[in-house]
Structure 1
Amino acid sequence: MDNPASAAILTGMRDESDLLIVGGGLNGPALALAAAQAGLSSTVIDALPAETALANEFDGRSYALALASQRMLARLELWDELADHAQPMLEIKVTDGRAGEGAAFLGLHFDHAEIEEGPMGYMVEDRYLRRALWQSVDRCETIRHLPGCRVTAQEARPGGVTVTLEDGAQLHGRLLVGADGRQSGTAARAGIRRTGWRYGQTALVCAISHEKPHHGIAHQFFMPSGPLAILPLPGNRSSIVWSETDDAAQRINALSDADYLDVLRPRFGDFLGEISLAGDRFTYPLSLSLANSFIGDKLALVGDAAHGVHPIAGQGLNAGLRDVAALAHVLTHARQRGEDFAQPDVLARYQLWRRFDTATLAGATDIFNRLFSNDNPLLRAGRDLGMKAVQAVPALRRGFMREAAGLTGDLPELMRG
């Protein structure tokens, strides 16, 4: 993963790619691989150093991949490498209550056996997913990875786009894609504003080891301060995404590991036996953030650069991968028809496809968080009755499961299995 940017300046060579992708998290390399399958070349400009992409230590970060996302990774020829490290989510149990008091009742129980397609999703650690993506990128002759590089300027021009790196190197392409997160410099430089707000909540994220097996069951426990997600990992381990008010989260995160666990235990319960930390602890302030446009002049945004939602439904990465699959679908079909895929009418198809879906997801997660993150007795009664009603109607349960699995709506080709 050498960085050839400075060499490009010294030799005076023009650096041309079909796609210039800014952002080396997960969506950036996924898009480069999807574009490669369509015969398009990419340069991925990654602010992170090369060693970060291939780090093998478990740091506690994991992702809930919906079934549609798993299908996409299989189509990108990544799943064989990931399957041994993936934990199927066979059931989801949703409860409502207060810390230390246990659940009010079993509000919802989703069992994958009720849908034909299989597990609703899989839990995969960040280290395995990131490594699989970048190793595949390294093997692909039509993708260049520029680690440790930052973009300082971008300019749409007739026939393409040019970006300038910190060291003065200029790269040229036909389409610029921002995959550079909620604080997207790509979007900002294009003058694209964002709409959103803070929730006054912070997510405490970690992984734990526990005595008893989880049997592939994911738990979502709604408390007045915010939801607690317990997501199964391979072995007797689970990923924790635990939302608290900003002030409470700051106090909890400042505690020692032992005291941190003492605060977690009454929220977590004892159904998995004794617990201990596995890996590092993280905090993420929670907010809603939507780009006012997903496209610009020879520009498209994907993932958190386009939308950031509350993690209450675990759909952040899945929504980003769906962006990637949709953009790849639009670009591929435009190319097959002989169209210039960077033209406004082509990019408008991508925006039309994804903007409504992501706005709907953002609205749904916002409403769910506001409905459940409180202790209003009337709202508690209403939401518990609502969950009980869904539980009583098999067709509604299956609809929720298919939605969680990413199987509803107009699926891009990469997600169709």
Structure 2
Amino acid sequence: MSETPERYDIVVAGAGYVGLATAVAIADAAPGLRLLVVDAAPDGAWRRDGRASAIAAAAIRMLDRLGVWDGIADGAQPITEMIVTDSKTADVVRPVFLTFGGEASPGEPFAHMMPNVALNGALRARAEALGVAIRGGTTVTGYDEGPASIEIHLAGSGGGHLAGGETVEARLLIACDGVRSKIRDMAGIRTVHTDYGQSGIVCTVAHERPHNGRAEEHFLPSGPFAILPLKGNRSSLVWTEPTREAERLVSGDDLVFELELEQRFGHKLGRITVEGGKRAFPLGLTIARDFVKPRVALAGDAAHGIHPIAGQGLNLGFK
């Protein structure tokens, strides 16, 4: 006789920001519900994320209401000013055609830059404090939908807890497993997709001069080039190039990369050096034709993966 599956009210697939924030919001609003978050990445893999994200004022208010923001606010860099230019790479002077101050309301910056590892850690800590179970190295391999519940089949991945697989029962499965969502495919949900033929280069840079909280976005012929302020004399770089050129840039040595940076950004911040690694991510648009199916719901990039310009992807996911 088969074992009775362990029962949860809700299973969330994906322990990124949206998956964790979804679990925290549900657990905070309905303390009696039993929640499980599973993620394909091994336990602790999130600690190696060297990237940073722009979090808009509305998302910060949400994080504050959920008891997450206070613990990480000191590590966030307010964006006090934003300037935008439209120019060519070779232009020595780039006229500013748009600038605005950094307050959504008096005393409230319109956005903060936050290291990903700090945000993820705070969301995890809050989820666990609310009684949410989190399992790394665990993948949803399939599900069987019933009239009153859904049986979700799990398997270990990348050093997970499960060797021979496991089935859990829940009332709802929420897919927060990213733009290439396997659960979306399992549910038979079709998408509208556009490949931009571009990749976004992401890395952290250190510089000699202070940024004074100013973010800059340069619209160049190859795509947007943004430098976003972090704590201290450090900034987060998001640089769009055609995919082949992006691959060339990230695979080359840091000296060549830094020279390319100076050509695009100039010397306003003094000498710029790369901190840690640099990575390129393919850019595209993927919108699910349906966000819900019986016993299954999509959230975050699984529902709508868009261009990361101005931090729209993360902040739309939080909404």
Conservation of the 8 A alpha-carbon contact between 1:202 and 1:284: yes
8 A Cα contact 1:63 1:125, kept in partner: yes
Query: Partner amino acid for 2:214?
Result: I
Identify the residue that residue 202 of structure 2 maps to in structure 1: 205
Cα distance between partner residues in 2 of 1:197 and 1:285: 11
Question: Within 5 A, what are the aligned runs for 1:140-219?
Answer: 140-141=130-131, 143-166=132-155, 167-219=164-216
What amino acid sits opposite 2:65 in the alignment? R
Kept in 2, the 8 Å contact 1:17–1:43? The answer is yes
Deviation at 1:104, TM superposition (A): 3.7
Q: Per the alignment, in what secondary structure is the counterpart of residue 134 of structure 1?
A: helix
**Equivalent residue for 2:35, pick from 23, 38, 42:** 42
Correspondence for 1:409: none
The root-mean-square deviation of aligned C-alpha atoms, in Å, is: 1.7
Q: Aligned AA for 1:160?
A: S
Superposed, 1:62-77 pairs within 5 Å as 62-77=52-67
Give the alignment's TM-score, normalised by structure 1: 0.71
State the identity %.
Answer: 39
Matches within 5 A, 1:96-175: 96-113=86-103, 115-116=105-106, 118-141=108-131, 143-166=132-155, 167-175=164-172
8 Å CA contact 1:32, 1:41 repeated in 2:
no
Which residue in the other structure is 2:300 paired with? 303
**Alpha-carbon distance in 1 for matches of 2:291, 2:93:** 40
Is 1:29–1:44's contact at 8 Å kept on the other side of the alignment? yes
Q: 1:214 Cα deviation (Å)?
A: 0.7
- Gap change, CA 1:67 and 1:103, over 3 Å in 2: farther
The counterpart of 1:274, out of the listed 271, 275, 293, is: 271
Paired residue for 1:312? 309
Contact 1:206–1:277 (CA under 8 A) maintained in structure 2? yes
* Residues 290-312 of structure 1: per-residue CA shift (max 9 Å, x gap): 01111111111000000111122
Q: Look up the match of 2:9.
A: 18
Picking from 267, 284, 289, the partner of 1:287 is: 284
- 8 Å contact kept, 2:103–2:110: no
Distance 1:104 1:136 in 2: 44
Distance 1:113 1:239 in 2: 20
Structure number with the higher strand fraction is 2
Q: CA deviation at 1:139?
A: 2.1
- The Cα shift of 1:135 comes to 1.7
- Structure ranking higher in helix proportion: 1
Deviations 1:113-148 (A, max 9, x none): 58436200110001101111112222222x111211
TM-superposed CA distance for 1:288, in Å, is 0.7
Whether contact under 8 Å (1:85, 1:124) holds in the other structure is: yes
Deviation beyond 6 Å, 4+ runs, structure 1? none
Whether 1:84 aligns to 2:74 is: yes
CA positional deviation for 1:156: 1.5
Question: Which amino acid is 1:98 matched to?
Answer: K
Within 5 Å, which residues of 2 pair with 1:45-64? 45-53=38-46, 55=47, 59-64=49-54
1:250 to 244, 247, 251: 247
Secondary structure (helix, strand or coil) at the match of 1:155 reads: strand
Quick one: distance in 1 between partners of 2:290 and 2:104? 38
Is 1:203–1:283's contact at 8 Å kept on the other side of the alignment? yes
- Deviation of the 1:60 alpha carbon: 3.2
Stretches of structure 2 that go unaligned for 5 or more consecutive residues are: 156-163
Q: How many residues align?
A: 309
1:60/1:281 contact within 8 Å kept: no
Supply the distance in 1 between the matched residues of 2:179 and 2:104 (Cα, whole angstroms). 36
1:240-293 Cα distance to aligned partner (Å, 9 max, x none): 000011121122122111111111111011111111111211100110110111
Once residues 231 and 150 of structure 2 are traced to their aligned partners in structure 1, the CA distance between those partners, rounded to angstroms, is 44
